[in-house]
Every structure is written in C-alpha cells, then in structure tokens.
C-alpha cells in the first residue's frame, strides 16, 4: 500500500499508511508502484511551507507537504501534489520530487539513470578543503579564476570547482559574467521582484584566457583523462566570450595533448561555437528545457536568438565530430508531454548526439507551469526516457571521460 508521507510545521516527517497520496505529473493522479524506489542515500527531505498534501480523499489541511531533493545520478519522475495557501511564498530553486511511505520506508518517484563515483555526496575532514584551497590560491599568484573557484568550492560546494583543488575528474573554467538569455529559473542571477534567491552569485568579471589556460594545464598535467569545462553554474553564457575561450584552448593545447576540452553552453551563437571548434574544442553540452520553440522561449526568454540557433549549434558540433551532449532540463508533465516527445523524436532523428543528460529543473513547479503552461497529454517520465533511448541516444546525468 502506498501511504502518505508528510510533515508537521516543524518539519518532522510522519507516515500515514491509511491515506493514499496523489502526485503531480502535469496532471494530478495516483502513483504507480513502478514509479517508486526506496529513497537513495543522499536524498534530502524538505517541508513545503503553506502547502498541504493532496490525497485520494481530498486535501490534508492540517498537514504540510513533504518533498525531497534527489542525489545526482537519479531522474525525477513525479512532483508532489498539494494545495497552496493564499499568500504562500514562492519556493526557492530546488528540484521538488514526490515522496511517500511503503512499509514504513520513505520511497521517492525516481529512476537511477547514471553511475558516477565522482558525483557521490562528499565529506571532508574539518579544514581539509579550506587548506587545499588556501595553498593553491596563495601559490596561484593572483589568478582571478582560482579566486572565483575558491568561493564556488567553499560557499556553493560546486563539485567541478572543488575538482580543481582536488586535482581529479572534471574541472571548472568559468569565463563569462554576461548572458544572452534570462531564464526564469536562472541559478546565478534572479530578478529582485521574483523574491527567490539565486543559489549562486554570478561572476562579476570577464576571466582572462591566460588564467583559464593555466588552471587547465595544471589540471591536465595531474589528471591524464581529465576534462576541463568552460561554462559553469556561476556564470552567464560562455559563447559571449568565444574569443577568450579560443585563445585559452590554443594555449592549453600548446602544452598539453591529453584530456578533453569541453564547453557547457546554451548553444545560442553558432558562429561563436565555430570559433571554439576551430581552436580545438572536443566536446560540448548544450542546455535546453524543450524541443518546442514556444516552451523554450517562455523559459529561456532569449535575447537575440531562438531555438533554431540552438539546433544549428548542435548540428554543427555533430558534423564537426565533437562529443555532443544535451543538458535537458527535465520537469514531469512538460518533458513527457506527447507534443514534446514528438518534437524531441523529430529533432533527434535529424542529428546524432551522443548523450542526453536528464537534469532535474530546479524551480517552484507552479511557477514553471504558469510560465510554460500545463500539459495536455503527459505520458510519464519513464515513457520519455524510453523514447530517448529508443532514438539511440545514451541517457545519463554526468559528463563522462569515456
């Protein structure tokens, strides 16, 4: 029996096996057992303020909605279903996932979609990371990128920033303070009137090609199959600085031939991407929330470009032989809407991308549905993932070295 998991106002978690919860998959409905797994290690429970769980018998007004944040390596399948009190505050930018109780055990609506040792929750001995960062920054002789990565490592717990100091895996190379999109759920810059804080502070300066190259070379000297990635959560759009990126790539390849040079981007400027490819870029990960122009524009609010430009960048990278991943910002109800699957199938049928990374979109679900519209025919996220696999694309959550 699928039972209700809920919270009291203090955030304590309770189970009520006599009450069957509903979930939100774009349409509010009952949950299928096959959509549930026991809560994996690293799952973070959250109480949703002034929101009350919807159940098969109605709404539990005296109870608070419980949601969870999934650890990396999992794709969210359903949202919590709730009624919100008038005047309730907007929810901060997290990936709210449905949770319930089965046999007194917390279960979540999720699917394991990737394995990655380097992405498991990290713990450090007291002062261990701080000491590593301090030693490197003080030796870095004023490298502005290193100073930024120190903040990202210690304040935002960014894995790719920490990897620079841990000298392993994928290393971050943030480069651009500006962006040519205004994503509703931007994680580095939120408009004050939204009342929602951005989890990270957008970098304030244009990083120098020399500083970027020095960090990349240091990393590739120590991590033979390492990845160095331009385009991080703390910055705007890296393609706006393609000249600096091309210069940095030339400097990196002048002294290191190993590893992979990757770019995470919104893919908005094909000609700028061309410049990076000609300089030696080897892999690209393009972010999008939808394969439908209306849904894309409503969320990204692009300035001076459109989804067709993003598609043109993806095609160019595929034709140039790069390793191409799509960073698909997934949201139950939108990613699996029948219209969306048709648009996705059509696009994937016209290019050969290597991988789709199913990235849980971190946003207040009602805010997102208000922005892009509720779906007409959601088919279920498991259906969407099988559609991706059926098109011959690898589905995962991380940029792998192989």
Which residues lie near ligand SF4 (CB under 6 A)?
179, 181-183, 186-189, 236-237, 266
Tell the smallest beta-carbon distance from residue 237 to ligand SF4 (Å).
5
Instruction: Choose between 31 and 179: whose C-beta lies nearer to ligand SF4.
Output: 179
Residue given tokens 């140039």 in the structure block: 320
* Minimum CB–partner distance for residue 265 and ligand SF4 (Å): 8
CB of 214 or CB of 331, closer to ligand SF4:
331
* Residue 188 structure tokens: 């580095």
Nearer to ligand SF4 by C-beta: 42 or 94?
94
Q: CB of 302: closest distance to ligand SF4 in angstroms?
A: 9
Secondary structure (DSSP) of 104-142: TEEEEEEEE----GGGS-----TTHHHHHHHHHHHHTTT
Nearest to 24 by CA among 72, 88, 96: 96
Q: How far is the CB of 186 from ligand SF4 (least distance, A)?
A: 3
DSSP 62: T
> What is the Cα gyration radius of the chain?
21
Q: Which is nearer to ligand SF4, 80 or 270 (CB)?
A: 270
Nearer to ligand SF4, 194 or 391 (CB): 194
Residue identified by tokens 């894309």 is 296
Nearer to ligand SF4, 97 or 327 (CB): 327
Contact predicate 311/342, CB 8 Å: no
Using alpha carbons, list the distances in angstroms from residue 170 to 142, 162, 216.
23, 9, 10
Q: Least distance (Å) from ligand SF4 to the CB of residue 147?
A: 20
| Through-space distance between the first and last CA atoms of the chain, rounded to whole angstroms | 42
Task: Give the chain's count of helices (H) and strands (E).
Answer: 11, 21
Quick one: 237 or 309, whose CB is closer to ligand SF4?
237
- Nearest-approach distance from CB 185 to ligand SF4, in angstroms: 7
Beta carbon of residue 57, minimum distance to ligand SF4 (angstroms, whole number): 40
Give SS3 for 301. Answer: coil
Structure tokens at 24: 């939100």
Q: H or E stretch including 22?
A: none
């Amino acid at each position: 029996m699928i039972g209700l998991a809920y919270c009291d106002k203090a955030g304590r978690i309770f189970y009520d096996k006599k009450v069957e919860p509903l979930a939100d998959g774009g349409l509010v409905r009952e949950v299928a057992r096959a959509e549930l797994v026991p809560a994996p290690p690293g799952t973070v429970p959250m109480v949703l303020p002034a929101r009350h769980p919807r159940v098969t018998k109605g709404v539990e007004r005296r109870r608070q909605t419980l949601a969870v944040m999934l650890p990396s390596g999992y794709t969210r399948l359903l949202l919590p279903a709730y009624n919100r009190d008038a005047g309730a505050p907007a929810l901060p930018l997290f990936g709210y996932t449905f949770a319930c109780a089965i046999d007194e055990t917390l279960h979540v609506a999720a699917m394991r979609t990737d394995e990655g040792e380097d992405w498991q929750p990290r713990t450090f001995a007291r002062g261990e990371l701080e000491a590593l960062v301090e030693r490197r920054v003080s030796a870095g002789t004023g490298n502005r990128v290193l100073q930024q990565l120190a903040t990202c490592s210690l304040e935002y717990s960014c894995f790719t920033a920490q990897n620079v100091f841990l000298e392993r895996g994928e290393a971050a190379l943030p480069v651009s303070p500006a962006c040519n999109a205004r994503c509703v759920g931007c994680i580095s810059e939120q408009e004050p009137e939204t009342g929602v804080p951005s989890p990270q502070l957008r970098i304030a300066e244009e990083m120098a090609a020399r500083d970027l190259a020095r960090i990349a070379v240091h990393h590739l000297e120590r991590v033979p199959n390492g990845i160095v990635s331009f385009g991080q959560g703390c910055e705007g759009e890296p393609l706006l600085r393609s000249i600096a990126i091309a210069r940095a790539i030339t400097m990196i390849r002048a002294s290191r031939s190993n590893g992979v040079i990757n770019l995470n981007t919104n893919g908005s400027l094909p000609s700028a991407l061309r410049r990076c490819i000609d300089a030696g870029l080897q892999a690209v990960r393009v972010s999008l929330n939808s394969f439908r122009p209306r849904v894309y524009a409503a969320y990204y609010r692009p300035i001076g470009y459109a989804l067709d430009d993003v598609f043109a960048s993806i095609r160019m990278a595929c034709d140039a032989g790069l390793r191409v991943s799509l960073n698909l910002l997934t949201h139950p109800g939108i990613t699996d809407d029948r219209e969306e699957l048709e648009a996705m199938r059509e696009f994937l049928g016209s290019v050969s991308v290597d991988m789709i990374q199913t990235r849980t979109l971190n946003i207040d679900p009602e805010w997102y549905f208000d922005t892009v519209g509720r779906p007409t025919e959601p088919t279920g996220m498991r259906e969407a993932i099988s559609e991706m696999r059926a098109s011959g694309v690898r589905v995962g959550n991380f940029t792998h070295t192989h």
